[in-house]
């Protein structure tokens, strides 16, 4: 029926918009720069590792989709995304409070040629 098709279209478009708004395309486009600014000695290797992880994730998802179902995989991915975003925000708050209390915060911030802070890179393992 039309109502069922509209709901499927709405969900599909919503998922694609959410993926675009997550910013992953920008992160992947600037991965070598991000890794070099984060202090990784060989940014090209780290970028290659990102690609390998993406391929492995796609293969695992394809293998699990029949066993667990699309909805379960989508919600578990959403849960992991929420937890990692929360941990990133919490680590930024902790880094900001530690930087305010210390006398030299230049080791954990990224500055441009003018000396203005461009932000902190946070790694979550």
The span from the CA of 27 to the CA of 38, in Å, is 13
Half-sphere exposure of 48 (CA within 13 A, CB side): 4
Torsion of CA 62, 67, 69, 74, to 10 degrees: -60
Per-residue pLDDT of the chain (125 residues), as tens digits, is 788 899 999 988 998 888 888 777 777 888 888 788 777 888 888 888 888 988 998 898 899 988 999 889 888 888 988 888 788 777 777 766 666 555 444 444 555 555 544 455 444 43
Reading the block at residue 88, the tokens are 């990133």
The span from the CA of 95 to the CA of 116, in Å, is 17
Q: How many helices (H) and strands (E) does the chain have?
A: 5, 2
């Amino acid at each position: 029926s039309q109502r069922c098709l509209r709901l499927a279209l709405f969900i599909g478009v919503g998922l694609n918009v959410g993926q675009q708004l997550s910013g992953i395309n920008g992160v992947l486009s600037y991965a070598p720069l991000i890794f070099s600014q984060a202090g990784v000695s060989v940014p090209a290797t780290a970028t290659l590792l990102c690609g390998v992880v993406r391929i492995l994730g796609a293969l695992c998802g394809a293998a699990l989709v029949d066993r667990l179902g699309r909805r379960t995989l989508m919600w578990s991915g959403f849960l992991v995304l929420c937890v990692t975003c929360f941990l990133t925000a919490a680590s930024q708050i902790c880094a900001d409070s530690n930087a305010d209390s210390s006398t030299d915060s230049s080791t954990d911030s990224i500055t441009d040629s003018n000396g203005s802070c461009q932000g902190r890179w946070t790694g979550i393992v």
